[in-house]
């Protein structure tokens, strides 16, 4: 290796770092995989850059330069369903979507409820196009009966615990999980769904489910779950993270709890902010079957309001790959879930930023520093000395979502055929370009 002064310089971009409260035109200097400095244009800086080779320079004129995006809710399907996604393919999808850090859920086969499985996933992720942080199980086998060996999981590197896909139904068990996890300062991430109230539900219970004759899953199933957990969180002093929040009542409950100082955080998915249950009857597209289900227009707007006022801390894709064979069937037979890593940024720009709900700085905060802080991840900022995970965004680039262009192994997206604005230009992981258009 030569002793170059910088490995890479991203010049002339508009740099946005919500952690630093930074938003201006500047050049980003990278050295040894870390951020060396961010400097505005000046004569000495231009002088500095003249000494660089062309391949050391990325021209980001007209582009946004932001910390690599962080998605705290992703399903990678490995081990178990490598036909749908692998750690490697999921990370390529992440990179293509501008995400440099993703957190994978433990509902694989086998479950990620022990050190070996955590290690297996980490091993698979070693040379992948994104950093993979593992979320371990709350309970053994996600069965809700006994706590998983949470200390072991954390020791191996798990950054949080979740039984995602299942709700920890036993309130006593949830109480203990919050208490126990408090020792490691990790959040308990909860899939908030009273599964007795939602049993058999195919879509949101509303006039739409009534009209279509599809069994409904009521929004109160989520609200009951969220309210119970807030009470337990208040009592235990643990950290509760509400996954994929979707209802007006649940958002209101979190807003109130935060006012009282309860240590609760929440995430929302792009699909719950962009789509509502009225989409389903149009053509019974099974890619619109998700859990929690797409809610009403009122809920959709309430989730956006919660995101805007800070009740909801971050945006997470809940990237849930499913094979075409499994999705190409009767609506009520299809497994719930849609992929999201590669469309999140475009959806947020097209539906939230362009419609005036969020500024770029807010949007970046919800996709970088906020999720990183919830999980104590050493990423999400461009502060000098941190790893050089950087996403360069072409904010006005228009594109059409196409099934055959996904890097994910699955293409279960309801957005296929939609026009979006904003696309990733380059994704840089630890100073190396891992994706470019």
Interaction between residue 318 and Zn ion (CB under 5 A): yes
Spatial distance between the Cα atoms of 218 and 197, rounded to a whole number of angstroms: 7
Q: Give the nearest distance from C-beta 64 to Zn ion in angstroms.
A: 28
Q: Give the nearest distance from C-beta 252 to other proteins in angstroms.
A: 20
Residues 125-164 that bind Zn ion (CB under 5 A): 164
Spatial distance between the Cα atoms of 39 and 24, rounded to a whole number of angstroms: 10
Kindly tell me which residue out of 13, 68, 106, 218 binds other proteins, with binding defined by CB under 8 A.
218
Q: Give the nearest distance from C-beta 316 to other proteins in angstroms.
A: 28
Q: Is 202 left (phi over 0), alpha (psi -120 to 50) or beta?
A: alpha
Spatial distance between the Cα atoms of 88 and 121, rounded to a whole number of angstroms: 10
Site string for other proteins, 232-271 (x = CB under 8 A): ----------------------------------------
3-state secondary structure of 278: helix
Using CB under 5 A, which of the segments 184-192, 221-229, 255-263, 428-436 binds Zn ion? 184-192
Q: Nearest to residue 175, comparing CAs of 142, 135, 139, 134?
A: 139
Site string for Zn ion, 263-302 (x = CB under 5 A): ----------------------------------------
The one-character DSSP state at 352 is I
Q: Which does residue 284 bind out of other proteins, Zn ion, none, counting CB within 5 to 8 angstroms by kind?
A: other proteins
The one-character DSSP state at 107 is -
Report the relative pairing of strands 22-31 and 8-17 from DSSP bridges: antiparallel
Q: Which does residue 318 bind out of other proteins, Zn ion, none, counting CB within 5 to 8 angstroms by kind?
A: Zn ion
Q: With respect to other proteins, which residue has the nearer C-beta, 17 or 299?
A: 299
Interaction between residue 284 and other proteins (CB under 8 A): yes
Q: Nearest to residue 427, comparing CAs of 389, 384, 387, 370?
A: 389
Interaction between residue 297 and other proteins (CB under 8 A): no
41 carries an active-site annotation: no
Contact residues for 396 (Cβ-Cβ < 8 A; gap 6+): 421, 422
Interaction between residue 146 and other proteins (CB under 8 A): no
Interaction between residue 331 and other proteins (CB under 8 A): yes
Q: With respect to other proteins, which residue has the nearer C-beta, 22 or 284?
A: 284
Q: Which one of the listed residues 7, 313, 318, 389 is annotated catalytic? A: 318
Spatial distance between the Cα atoms of 340 and 412, rounded to a whole number of angstroms: 9
Q: Nearest to residue 268, comparing CAs of 313, 308, 227, 225?
A: 313
Kindly tell me which residue out of 92, 131, 191, 300 binds Zn ion, with binding defined by CB under 5 A.
191
Q: How many CB atoms lie within 10 A of CB 368?
A: 30
Interaction between residue 84 and Zn ion (CB under 5 A): no
Residues 188-217 that bind other proteins (CB under 8 A): 205-207, 209-214, 216
Q: Which does residue 213 bind out of Zn ion, other proteins, none, counting CB within 5 to 8 angstroms by kind?
A: other proteins
Q: Give the nearest distance from C-beta 95 to other proteins in angstroms.
A: 33
Please, which residues bridge with residue 67 across strands?
390
Q: How many helices (H) and strands (E) does the chain have?
A: 15, 18
Q: How many CB atoms lie within 10 A of CB 212?
A: 17
What is the sign, positive or negative, of the torsion defined by CA atoms of 372, 373, 379, 380? positive
Q: Is 142 left (phi over 0), alpha (psi -120 to 50) or beta?
A: left
Interaction between residue 346 and other proteins (CB under 8 A): no
> How many residues form the binding site for Zn ion (CB under 5 A)?
3
Q: With respect to other proteins, which residue has the nearer C-beta, 11 or 296?
A: 296
Site string for other proteins, 363-402 (x = CB under 8 A): ----------------------------------------
Q: With respect to other proteins, which residue has the nearer C-beta, 170 or 333?
A: 333
Asked whether the beta carbons of 243 and 269 are under 8 A apart, the reply is: no
3-state secondary structure of 69: strand
The pair phi, psi for residue 351, each rounded to 5°, is -105, -20
Burial of 34 (0-12, 13-18, 19+ CB in 10 A): middle
Q: With respect to Zn ion, which residue has the nearer C-beta, 7 or 318?
A: 318
Q: With respect to other proteins, which residue has the nearer C-beta, 322 or 365?
A: 322
What is the sign, positive or negative, of the torsion defined by CA atoms of 192, 161, 84, 109? negative
Interaction between residue 205 and Zn ion (CB under 5 A): no
Interaction between residue 330 and other proteins (CB under 8 A): yes
Active site residue ranges = 318
- Please give the residue ranges that form the binding site for Zn ion (CB under 5 A): 164, 191, 318
- Please give the residue ranges that form the binding site for other proteins (CB under 8 A): 205-207, 209-214, 216, 218, 283-284, 325, 328-333
């Amino acid at each position: 290796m030569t002793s170059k002064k910088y490995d890479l310089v991203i010049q002339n971009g508009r740099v946005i770092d919500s952690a630093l409260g930074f938003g201006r035109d500047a050049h980003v200097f990278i050295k040894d995989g870390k951020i060396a400095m961010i400097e505005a244009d000046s004569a000495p800086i231009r002088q500095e850059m003249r000494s660089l080779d062309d391949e050391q320079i990325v021209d980001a004129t007209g582009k946004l330069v932001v910390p690599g995006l962080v998605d705290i809710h992703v399903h990678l399907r490995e081990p178990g369903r490598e036909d749908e996604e692998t750690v490697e393919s999921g990370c390529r999808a992440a990179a293509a979507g501008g995400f440099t850090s993703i957190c994978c859920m433990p509902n694989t086969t086998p479950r990620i409820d022990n050190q070996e499985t955590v290690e297996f996933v980490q091993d698979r992720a070693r040379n992948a196009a994104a950093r993979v942080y593992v979320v371990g199980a709350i309970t053994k086998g996600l069965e809700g009966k006994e706590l998983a060996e949470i200390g072991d999981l954390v020791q191996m590197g798990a950054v949080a615990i979740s039984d995602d896909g299942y709700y920890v139904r036993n309130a006593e068990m949830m109480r203990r999980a919050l208490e126990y996890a408090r020792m490691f300062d990790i959040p308990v991430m909860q899939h908030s769904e009273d599964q007795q109230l939602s049993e058999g539900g195919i879509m949101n219970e509303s006039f739409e489910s009534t009209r279509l004759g599809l069994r409904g899953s009521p929004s109160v199933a989520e609200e009951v779950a969220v309210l119970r957990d807030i009470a337990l969180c208040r009592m235990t002093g643990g950290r509760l993270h509400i996954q994929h929040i979707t209802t007006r009542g649940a958002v209101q409950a979190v807003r109130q709890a935060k006012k009282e100082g309860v240590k609760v955080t929440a995430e929302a998915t792009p699909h719950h902010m962009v789509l509502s249950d009225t989409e389903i009857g149009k053509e019974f597209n099974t890619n619109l079957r998700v859990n929690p289900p797409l809610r009403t227009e009122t809920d959709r707007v309430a989730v956006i309001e919660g995101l805007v006022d800070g009740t909801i801390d971050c945006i997470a894709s809940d990237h849930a790959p499913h094979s075409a064979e499994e999705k190409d069937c009767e609506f009520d037979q299809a497994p719930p879930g849609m992929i999201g890593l590669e469309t999140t940024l475009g959806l947020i720009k097209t539906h939230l930023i362009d419609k005036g709900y969020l500024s770029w700085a807010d949007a970046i905060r919800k996709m970088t520093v906020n999720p990183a802080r919830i999980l104590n991840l050493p990423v999400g900022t461009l502060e000098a000395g941190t790893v050089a995970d950087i996403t360069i965004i072409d904010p006005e680039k228009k594109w059409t979502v196409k099934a055959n262009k996904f890097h994910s192994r699955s293409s279960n997206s309801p957005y296929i055929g939609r026009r979006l604005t904003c696309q990733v230009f380059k994704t840089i992981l630890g100073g190396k370009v891992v994706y470019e258009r």
